Amino acid sequence: MDLRLDQGDVGALAAELRRRAALGRSEGLNRLFDYLVEVSERGLRPKEFEVAAAVFGRDAGFDGAQDASVRVAVHRLRRKLEDYYAGPGRGEALRLVAPRGEYRLVVARAEAAALPVGAGRPPRLLRLWPWAAALIAANALAWAGWWASHRDGDYGAVRRAAPWAQVLGDRRPLIVAVGDYYIFGDLDQATGAGRLVREYGINSPEDLDAWLMDHPEMVGRYRDLDLFYLPVGAAAALRDVLPVLAPKAAARDQVRVVTASDLTPEMLKRNDVLYIGYLSGLRMLRDPLFAGSRFRVGETYDELIDGKTGRHYTSQEGGPVDGQANQRDFGYFAAFQGPDGNRIVILAGARDMGLMQTAEAMTTPQVLKAVRRGAGGAQAFEALYEVQGLRRANFGGHLVVASPLDSARIWAPPKAPLRFPAG
């Protein structure tokens, strides 16, 4: 079947793809796309060495048998186009296609460009099945525990306290975003050994694509498996928090659990949002939060520095040191108004122990009253909670400080970009 239609549509379709940032942030991939758009509009069919010279700066000594950079890049571009038209662009009647074995783009109707059943990448939902299962299990544990051991009145005081009262009283749906982390595969073809890798500078498939464009020697070894992992403490935190949200969850489609990597700006505007996870997993919530916070991140996310007192609060993630019988961790709790008048709540920990104990504390009336009192009743506030324990076993904790957030700075354009450690 000939997929080609009017090639004059290439430029228009390409402009829409650029507008929607369909190819991600990879400069090399976008440079290749622009080149292929240009030659396709001119009706040209460049050779591999021409692409190598024009896009990747290769010289006359380029040997495609030894250098697979062009073929790898075109393969990744083809996959990006397929992913886009299987997702955000699935309703578009005309599509751009990179024919196999050629270095150009053609226009195709949606039905002609459709992949046969079983081809292409598995849907993200299926690849995320282990983590979806973890979230479902956490929900089940929460509800089972609630129905088995609590009456509705046991949570009444918590539900009447800020910020839970505002979330429960809002008609907007609530999204519970659980902090997750991207991991990819490392397969040594010589030995057949494989492992999963967490690299702080590579936080998405797009980041991996961009990295591989600059390191073609690792193509075929580093592979996107579309896998993300969740902290162990997130399930325990969900168990404590979800019963508080029971009245809202009882209404259909009012509470939805997603991973933080799937949270979009549109979702952030249209819903109330509760983040549960590590401080390092905040993603798009990170910049607005710390713009209005008295704290800043230290050398790693295991350290918070109080800008008002200069004190450093460091999680002892490696376990007890200097003869200590236990270790210290920190949790962080905050609430503020979202970009469209919605409510955003942050329940985070430096590590599992801080996350778990802080979730338990912030669903306790006495602690919520202390936080409210320390913040002077402000609607936008934050609190730091110190936890003592050993290997995720909590021995107790106490509120270190609670204070108002600087609301005016949270959604204001930053005067200078905030800088954070990787991860």
Per-residue pLDDT at 60 exceeds 50: yes
Please compute, for residue 416, the number of CA atoms within 13 A of its CA located in the half-sphere on the CB side: 2
- Look at strands 327-337 and 381-390 and give their pairing: antiparallel
Q: What is the pLDDT of residues 363-398, one digit of tens each?
A: 999 999 999 999 999 999 999 999 987 765 666 899
pLDDT recorded at residue 173: 95
Per-residue pLDDT at 136 exceeds 70: no
CATH 1.10.357 correct for 7-113: no
Per-residue pLDDT at 131 exceeds 60: no
Helices 48-56 and 27-41: crossing angle in degrees, nearest 10, is: 130
pLDDT recorded at residue 102: 86
CA dihedral over 263, 266, 268, 273, signed as positive or negative: negative
Q: What is the pLDDT of residues 160-197, one digit of tens each?
A: 999 999 999 999 999 999 999 999 989 876 666 688 99
pLDDT recorded at residue 141: 44
Most confident residue range from 118-127, 193-202, 215-224, 378-387:
378-387
Per-residue pLDDT at 135 exceeds 70: no
Per-residue pLDDT at 330 exceeds 90: yes
- Look at strands 381-390 and 106-109 and give their pairing: unpaired
Q: How confident is the model at residue 118 (pLDDT cuts 50, 70, 90)?
A: very low
pLDDT recorded at residue 206: 77
pLDDT recorded at residue 278: 95
Q: What is the pTM of this model?
A: 0.68
Q: How far apart are CA 106 and CA 37, in angstroms?
A: 9
Q: If residue 82 lies in a helix (H) or strand (E), which one and from where to where?
A: helix 69-86
Question: Could you state, in order of their start, the residue ranges of all structural domains in the chain?
Answer: 7-113, 130-179+231-410, 181-227
Most confident residue range from 127-131, 152-156, 275-279:
275-279
Per-residue pLDDT at 257 exceeds 80: yes
Q: How confident is the model at residue 117 (pLDDT cuts 50, 70, 90)?
A: very low
Instruction: Please state the rounded mean pLDDT for residues 210-231.
Output: 81
pLDDT recorded at residue 409: 94
Q: What is the pLDDT of residues 274-307, one digit of tens each?
A: 999 999 999 999 999 999 999 999 988 899 999 9
